[in-house]
Structure 1
Amino acid sequence: MSVTEVPPSTTPAPTTPLRPARIPDDGLYEGRRLLRRTPDGWRERPYEHLEIVPQAATIGAEIRGVDLTRPLSGALREEVHRALLEWKVLFFRGQHPSSAQQRAFARTWGELETNPLLERGDSEEVVRFDKGAGVPPSFENVWHTDVTFRERPAMGAVLHLREVPPSGGDTMWADMAAAYDNLPPGVRERIDDAVAEHDFLPGFRRFYGPEKLAGLQDAFPPVTHPVVRRHPETGRRMLFVNTSFTTRIVGMERAESDRLLRLLFQQAHVPEFQVRFRWQAGDVAFWDNRATQHYAVADYGDARRVAERVAIAGDRPY
């Protein structure tokens, strides 16, 4: 099968990232950015069982030649997994899986996670996002990594769009390895060994009354994770803080922590680190929650948008 993929460079990857000549203290410089899709030393190999169509420089690829309604062979599963590590989010057009087929595909990567904070679909592992006129609003239109308020945040997620609005409703993902690579050296030195607190309250407080909230606080107390996470499979360093759940950097004065977190949060907003996907009904996205943030664009007014998501349980970040 043909492979529409960025060909590997014949030039060895630099061991020390190239950087612009001038990086201001806020890290939001102009000009060329370092855009490495894979870590140094990564061995490029051809894909024999699927076709890859890149959607952006470092993140996002459409996968062709894979039917998600059928079990994956061992060789095909290996190639989908390798593509996930290389591209961070994969898009499958026109799949229309049933809920059971969607769960079966996700289970290929491990145990499924449940989330009692969100509306369920037809099983406890399925989260349903049903938006439109008369539906109470929720707030996925903020850059975030899923469930970092848990000790073991999700490894990944599989999202199926069942109904799309006439226009709008895209989802964007950001490559948090690229976000880390492009921080000023002084900032990276400050955060490489830092630890941050994550709490569900900033993202969910508005949805619950005091009694319900108290019970959830007992079930989900704040946890700490490294500010810079190493990917457990590629070893790559990635920025691991987000506006929905990260509340403070441990050991810093509040004002200093807030200033530094604002700078780090802003890295997900850089377009060069992003991919944007325009949905059609039946499309599926599979993303590496360890390596990305995402943002559901709420620009479709009262039109209906129905999505179902299953998440794959993850490990404790280090």
Structure 2
Amino acid sequence: MAEKNINKGVAGRAQNLSNSRAQGVYETIDIKPATAVIGGIVSGVDMTQPIPDAQVQDLNHALANHNVLFFRDQPELTPEQQIAFARNFGDLHIHPAGPQDLNPEIFVIHTHKDSKINNGGGWHTDVSCDEKPPLGTMLQIHKTPEAGGDTLFANMYAAFDALSDTMKDLLRTCTAMHESEHIYRGRYSDRGVDDTGKSFPSAEHPVVRTHPVSGRECLYVNRAFTTKLVDFEQAESDALLKFLFTHLEQPQFQVRFQWEENSIAFWDNRCTQHLALWDYWPEERKGNRVTINGERPFHQIN
């Protein structure tokens, strides 16, 4: 188990948005809100070419402001183009069930009539079981079903803001365990992954984390990976987590994204949860995903 209260009260790590970016004004991109609460539809970016530093900064801050960015105007990216674009935001994560060949950074999302599971079929934050969970994830869907296959995203800033002050104060003092064996054990046998004798990551994180770019507080527990509140009795932990999961999964915090061929979603794992619907069987849905490494979650006491 990680050291108790790890990364609570860390000062000086959250960056400050510039005034214009904090107000949603950007010099190098055009962005329209997808809803009043979460999501931005972006144009003015060419992912097939290197992009200037100013545009990287605009996208980085737009991601922190909007939680998830949607792109409708991109061609089908090659794996190399998608990797190169994502590397503007950090080093890339290599999934243990991904191909260990020419492009190990690419994780193929592919669900079809013979699939036994749907990746991302419950509310979650990607790989929160890691000591340093991913900053963000970028997915381009190349093949869509005739109908269905939408992805829902939820705003964890808004979920935290909607709590009472008393609940906020309690949660600011809490940490939780994020574990993965119950999810990953045997999950990728169809990809040739043998996990016999394998250990699976777990980590202790603050229940409320500070976003390192926006400086805002957000909830950081999710139904998939979060198993227990540290220093609570099991019954107490179960009851409080059940409340939090039900609270943060409410529709008023969400946007529902309908994929089109070559649509791209780029979401911020630090302040967002998502769920991929599997309502299109026996049709097929396929795309390429890259995930950007992040830092250890912290809560900054103001």
Q: Which bin holds the TM-score, normalised by the shorter protein?
A: 0.7 to 0.9
* CA deviations over 1:208-261 (Å, ceiling 9, x no partner): 78x9555332xx342100111111122211100111111100101001000000
Deviations 1:105-141 (A, max 9, x none): 1000010011104567962111111111123323412
Q: Give, in whole Å, the separation in 2 of the partners of 1:290 and 1:167.
A: 30
Contact residue 55 and residue 62 of structure 1 kept, 8 A: yes
Identity %: 39
2:109 is matched with which residue?
A: 129
Q: Which residue of 2 aligns with 1:250?
A: 230
User: Aligned partners of 2:210 and 2:24: how far apart in 1?
Assistant: 23
* Equivalent residue in structure 1 for 2:134, among 129, 154, 160: 154
- Does residue 72 (structure 1) correspond to residue 54 (structure 2)? The answer is no
- How much does 1:46 deviate? 2.7
Task: Give the secondary structure class of the aligned counterpart of 2:166.
Answer: helix
SS at match of 1:178: helix
CA contact (8 A) 1:120 1:127 kept: no
Aligned partners of 2:269 and 2:156: how far apart in 1?
10
Moved more, 115-124 or 249-258: 115-124
Check 1:288–1:304 CA distance in 2 against 1; reply closer, same or farther (3 A cut).
same
Runs of 5+ consecutive residues of structure 2 not aligned to the other structure:
1-15
Which residue does 2:258 correspond to in 1? 278
User: What's the counterpart of residue 290 of structure 2?
Assistant: 310
| Match among 176, 183, 192 for residue 172 of structure 2 | 192
Scaled by the length of structure 1, what TM-score is found? 0.82
Task: Please identify runs of 4+ aligned residues in structure 1 that moved more than 6 A.
Answer: none
Secondary structure at the counterpart of residue 159 of structure 1: strand
The 2-side partners of 1:105 and 1:267 are apart by 35
Quick check: 1:58 aligned with 2:37?
A: yes
Q: Using the TM superposition, give the Cα deviation of residue 276 of structure 1 relative to its aligned residue in structure 2, in angstroms.
A: 0.9
Q: Give the superposition deviation at 1:289.
A: 0.7
- The answer (yes or no) to whether the contact 2:118–2:278 under 8 Å persists in 1 is no
- SS for the counterpart of 1:160 is strand
Is 2:30–2:42's contact at 8 Å kept on the other side of the alignment? yes
1-structure distance, mates of 2:89, 2:287: 21
C-alpha RMSD of matched pairs (Å): 2.2
Structure 2 distance, partners of 1:297, 1:268, is: 18
Q: Note the C-alpha offset of 1:267.
A: 2.4
Residues matched between the structures, number? 277
Cα offset for 1:185?
A: 2.4
Could you tell me which residue of structure 2 aligns to residue 92 of structure 1?
Answer: 71
Query: Deviations along 1:267-306, whole A, 9 cap, x unmatched?
Result: 2321111111101111111111101001001111110100
Counterparts of 1:79 and 1:208, CA distance in 2: 37
Specify every segment of 5 or more residues in structure 1 that has no aligned partner in the other structure, as ranges.
1-37
